[in-house]
Structure 1
């Protein structure tokens, strides 16, 4: 495993790999790696010749400075985890100034409304920050394919829109959500949960599974009301939002239409830890 900390260094290595006919796969992460991240790496290894994992806690996508400060950082553990599991991958581990230059600022993007709903509604400037860092990474790494988890499904659709609008020649590959035994979606934030809250947070996925069953017979309006009532009665979890939306446009559903794909999205707090999840709905 090879670790790069400078852009020029990794660019040279990539240029050489491409000259040898190797395809490049990128797995962008913010560190605090877990099995969900490792599953993305495994998918990338199957589909590309040289996999690069980036580890970078991106400051521009946090609207809450306290959340940025508390975000788990385990660099030594991350590198060891990758080295133990994968022998031939590369890791890009830059400092903020190395990636951004002297001004660590977000660009402003228009994602055709994908950025104004759900996470965008509750996290001001978040997707400008995501778009900025992903654009920097794509321009530095120039991957053929980039791999993202479907847990952040809104982010996945926004990155697809980013490549379309910027013309960056990267194929975006969405990978299934990896879950703990309880059903809780794997996330670096889970490590900050108390043991009690971690156990109780499985209720989020339980609710989504029930929504999946209800979607065949009940209206979106009924299901939304039902979910809100379930969370009102829960002593450990506080619902921030629940929405059923078109999987492509992320627009909130008014009426189900045959042939369209829909997903249910949820954000909830367990104590002061914010958790998100989603699930595909059969139509």
Structure 2
């Protein structure tokens, strides 16, 4: 597996691979890799000649300085995990100046309102940061296909909109959520949970399963109340938000229409660790 730590060495490599006609698959990460990330590269391996990873903790998508400071950084272990997987041909580990040559500042984007829903309400500027780093990585790596997890479903929708708006020749693929044995969605932030917290946090997934059971049987407002009641009984947890939204627009709904697809979104603090999850409602 090749390791590139500068923009120039990456660009030279990409140019050579493109000259040979290779199809490139790419999945950017912020490191602290787990099996959920590896599932992205496994999907990419099936559809591309060359699979590239990147590891870069992007400062501009954190609206909480403490969260950025505490975000796990495990580069050596990440490289070991990628090599062991055998799915990845090269990893790009850029410096901040490779991504932000003119200083640490996000671009301003219009994602047709997708950026104003859910995470956008609670994390101002977050999706401008996401858009900035993903656009720059796309322009450097020049992938034919890019892979993102469904766990960050709103982010996935934003990136699809980014590619559409910028007319980039990249196909975006969503990859199903990879879960712990107890159902908890795999996340780099899970590393900050102790064993007891990790086990207790399975209630997040269990709640989404219940919501799917309640879907179309009781009203939206009744579902919201039941979810609120569940988390009021959980010690050491705080429900930041729960929403049921239209999958296409991400707008919250108060009624289920038969011709639309819906998804339940949830964000819970377990101690000081912010966990997100979602589920398509059948």
TM tier, smaller: over 0.9
Per-residue deviation, residues 217-275 of structure 1 (Å, max 9, x unmatched): 11212111110111112113110000000011100013211221110000000000000
Between 93-102 and 125-134, the greater mean CA deviation after superposition: 93-102
Between 155-164 and 252-261, the greater mean CA deviation after superposition: 252-261
Aligned to 1:10: 10
Aligned to 1:277: 277
Distance in 2, Cα, partners of 1:230 & 1:200:
13
Contact kept, 8 Å, 1:27 with 1:148, in 2: the verdict is yes
Contact kept, 8 Å, 2:41 with 2:88, in 1: the verdict is no
Shift of residue 15 of structure 1? 1.6
Distance in 1, Cα, partners of 2:67 & 2:131:
19
Per-residue deviation, residues 62-87 of structure 1 (Å, max 9, x unmatched): 00111101100000000011112216
Shift of residue 31 of structure 1? 0.2
Distance in 1, Cα, partners of 2:187 & 2:180:
10
Distance in 1, Cα, partners of 2:147 & 2:276:
19
Per-residue deviation, residues 125-151 of structure 1 (Å, max 9, x unmatched): 100000000000011111001000000
Contact kept, 8 Å, 2:41 with 2:51, in 1: the verdict is yes
Aligned to 1:229: 229
Aligned to 1:205: 205
Q: Within 5 Å, which residues of 2 pair with 1:61-210? A: 61-86=61-86, 89-210=89-210
Shift of residue 51 of structure 1? 0.6
SS in 2 for 1:146: strand
Aligned to 2:268: 268
Per-residue deviation, residues 86-136 of structure 1 (Å, max 9, x unmatched): 165100000111221131110011111111111111111100000000000
Distance in 1, Cα, partners of 2:281 & 2:110:
27
Per-residue deviation, residues 188-225 of structure 1 (Å, max 9, x unmatched): 00000111111100000000000001003112121111
Q: Which consecutive segments of 4 or more residues in structure 1 shift more than 3 A?
A: none
SS in 2 for 1:115: helix
Distance in 2, Cα, partners of 1:193 & 1:225:
27
TM-score, normalisation: structure 2: 0.98
Contact kept, 8 Å, 1:200 with 1:236, in 2: the verdict is no
Residue segments in structure 2 that go unaligned for 5+ positions in a row: none
Contact kept, 8 Å, 2:264 with 2:280, in 1: the verdict is yes
TM-score, normalisation: structure 1: 0.98
Q: CA RMSD in A?
A: 1.0
Question: How many residue pairs get matched?
Answer: 282
